[in-house]
Structure 1
């Protein structure tokens, strides 16, 4: 029987997320997550839900009720702050872009490269279903 900890580690690894990154994003410690993955502690129900939402997986998978790790592409897109959006926000916040006409060809090429990386990430996640 596959344990909660094994399922958590499997899902985290499928997403390519480190314990450090996950701990930071979920506002907990690496040690706490490690204890969950090694079945030394069990998280409370609300934290299990938070983990499932963070990893964008079916909570039933984590709880052992299902063997299907379901990545919802639309939810992933909605909840992900892409590199492209981060760059656009930075350029707008620092005053580089005030109108769409202010975007230079160099910036457009940078955005295009970042957009391609975002597409690659989505496609990679799509094949992990």
Structure 2
């Protein structure tokens, strides 16, 4: 059994799965993440572990969470709870964030169900 087939390399397996799901070659992912192509190969094989910054860049380049790459959640695209919403907040204006917060409050209070006021 090679090292990347053991349970010790969840990160490498997840990185490869996400890269394949996104249709990227190692070279393409390396370019997107600003890394040398050899780093992607080393990460996938389990020969090296990424730094925090490289982990973050890889997750962003693959449009997955670091939790997925680290094996903390099992789904690539679906982020549970607030994290799923949080990943988009950086793209909103302050006014839009306030609107979203208002909708969430109305949902919590049950005011959006069946046209309640």
TM-score bracket for the superposition, by shorter chain length: 0.5 to 0.7
Provide the C-alpha distance between the structure 1 equivalents of 2:77 and 2:22, rounded to a whole number of angstroms: 12
* Shift of residue 27, structure 1, vs aligned partner: 2.0
Moved over 6 A (4+): none
Q: Are 1:48 and 2:55 matched, yes or no?
A: yes
Q: Distance in 2 between matches of 1:49 and 1:24?
A: 14
* Among 18, 32, 43, the residue aligned to 1:11: 18
Displacement after TM superposition at 1:7 (Å) = 0.5
Unaligned runs of at least 5 residues, structure 2: 1-6, 79-83, 92-117
Written as runs of structure 1 = structure 2, the 5 A alignment for 1:12-27 is 12-27=19-34
TM-score when scaled to structure 2?
0.57
Aligned residue pairs: how many?
A: 75
Q: Distance in 2 between matches of 1:25 and 1:48?
A: 13
1:16-66, CA deviations, whole angstroms, 9 ceiling, x for partnerless residues?
Answer: 011111112222211111000000000011111111111001211101101
Query: TM-score normalized by structure 1?
Result: 0.52
- The alignment status of 1:29 with 2:36, answered yes or no, reads yes
Superposed counterparts of 1:28-107, under 5 Å = 28-70=35-77
Bigger relative contact order, structure 1 or 2, given CA contacts below 8 A and separation 6+? 1
